[in-house]
Structure 1
Amino acid sequence: MNTPAHLIFGIAAFGKPDRPATLWAATLGALAPDLSLYLMGAVSLYLLRIPPNVVFGELYYSDAWQTVFAIDNSAILWGGLLAWALWRRHAVLTAFAGAGLLHIALDFPLHHDDGRAHFWPLTNWIFESPVSYWDARRHAGIVGPIEGAASLILGLWAGWRIRHWGWRAALAILLFLQLGITSIWFRMLF
């Protein structure tokens, strides 16, 4: 899934309007599994001036990058953190870990040849889904609009629940970004 959708889903699922810290935690948890890609990609592209085809065609699939992705996308680690947070009844950590685990659960069926080792450290196996959220050859023209519609519904629902204008503005920005991405998939379909 696209990162704005992950943030919307995480906020909607784990943010509690009466506990602002859980909104921040859900947002950060939903972002965390993608953060390493953004950081390593930005450093490679903009500081080291490595061409995009090398960054996304070679470095992305390198053992070093895949090791980082295996750690921050491990359902085992995120699930353990969520279990501990639930056991300790820690609402903020539950929101963080829950949103991170939701991110991973939603990514798992939507990556074909660019998936992550979601069961690290038990195994480095990577599921190759027949469906992709971005690859038109793997049904992205169908997945994209579904992702956009779900994001719209969850974003509006979260905005209705969350009364703070700042959070509503943040959700509106995320919806704008996600629906912009979705419009690309609609153009591919029709």
Structure 2
Amino acid sequence: MNTPAHLLIGAAAFARPSYGRTLRAVLIGSVLPDLSLYLMAGVSLFILNIPEQVVFGQLYYSDAWQTVFAIDNSFLVWGLALGVGVWLRARLLVLGASAGLLHLGTDFLLHAGDGRAQFWPLSNWVFHSPISYWDSAHHAQWVVLVSITACAVSYIALWRRGLTLPTKIFFAALLAAEVWVARQWLLFF
């Protein structure tokens, strides 16, 4: 699933109230599993000037990158964070960890051939889903419809919670980004 979708769906599911520290905790939890990819790819592409084919054809699948992805996409790490949050009665940690786990759950189901080891440090096993959020050879054309519908429903739910105008614009931009990125995946893959 694309990152804008994770942010929209995570916020709709867990950000009550949908402002302030609660919203920030949920957005951080929703984005953290993807953050390392953005940082490593961004540095590789724009600072080190490594060709896109190398970044996404070689580096993405390298042991070093996959180790980083295994850590920040581990159900065990995020489950531990949730457990600590519950134990400490730290509501913001519980919300952020819950959003992170929702992110991992959808990724687990929607990565065909590009999944991550989500049970680190106990296992490097990777589930290869028959369904992909971006690859038309693995039903992406259907996933896109479901994803965009879920994002639109999430946006409506968030809107109805009385968001401030800047927050409404932020979530509208995420919805537009999700539609644009989903369109790109279908056109090119």
TM-score for both structures, normalised by structure 2: 0.94
Equivalent residues of 1:141, 1:185 under 8 A apart: no
Task: Give the SS at the match of 1:30.
Answer: helix
Structure 1 segment 92-107 matched on structure 2, within 5 A: 92-107=92-107
Equivalent residues of 2:14, 2:99 under 8 A apart: yes
CA gap of 1:186–1:156, structure 2 versus 1, over 3 A, is farther
Amino acid at match of 2:48: L
Equivalent residues of 1:45, 1:55 under 8 A apart: yes
CA gap of 1:178–1:19, structure 2 versus 1, over 3 A, is closer
RMSD of aligned Cα (Å): 1.6
Residue aligning to 2:4: 4
Q: 1:21 Cα deviation (Å)? A: 0.4
Task: Give the SS at the match of 2:173.
Answer: helix
Structure 1 segment 37-52 matched on structure 2, within 5 A: 37-52=37-52
Equivalent residues of 1:132, 1:140 under 8 A apart: yes
Identity of aligned residues (%): 49
Residue aligning to 1:91: 91
CA gap of 1:10–1:162, structure 2 versus 1, over 3 A, is farther
Structure 1 segment 38-187 matched on structure 2, within 5 A: 38-184=38-184
Give me the whole-angstrom Cα distance separating, in 2, the residues matched to 1:45 and 1:182. 22
CA gap of 1:117–1:103, structure 2 versus 1, over 3 A, is same
Amino acid at match of 1:50: I
Q: 1:134 Cα deviation (Å)? A: 0.4
Q: 1:180 Cα deviation (Å)? A: 2.1
Task: Give the SS at the match of 1:161.
Answer: coil
Amino acid at match of 1:107: D
Give me the whole-angstrom Cα distance separating, in 1, the residues matched to 2:54 and 2:187. 28
Per-residue CA deviation, residues 120-160 of structure 1 (Å, 9 max, x unaligned), is 11100000011100011111011011100111001110121
Task: Give the SS at the match of 1:174.
Answer: helix
Give me the whole-angstrom Cα distance separating, in 2, the residues matched to 1:163 and 1:85. 26
Residue aligning to 2:16: 16
Amino acid at match of 1:83: G
Amino acid at match of 1:42: G
Give me the whole-angstrom Cα distance separating, in 2, the residues matched to 1:138 and 1:34. 21
Equivalent residues of 1:132, 1:139 under 8 A apart: yes
Amino acid at match of 1:78: W
Q: Aligned pair count?
A: 188
Amino acid at match of 2:177: L
TM-score for both structures, normalised by structure 1: 0.93
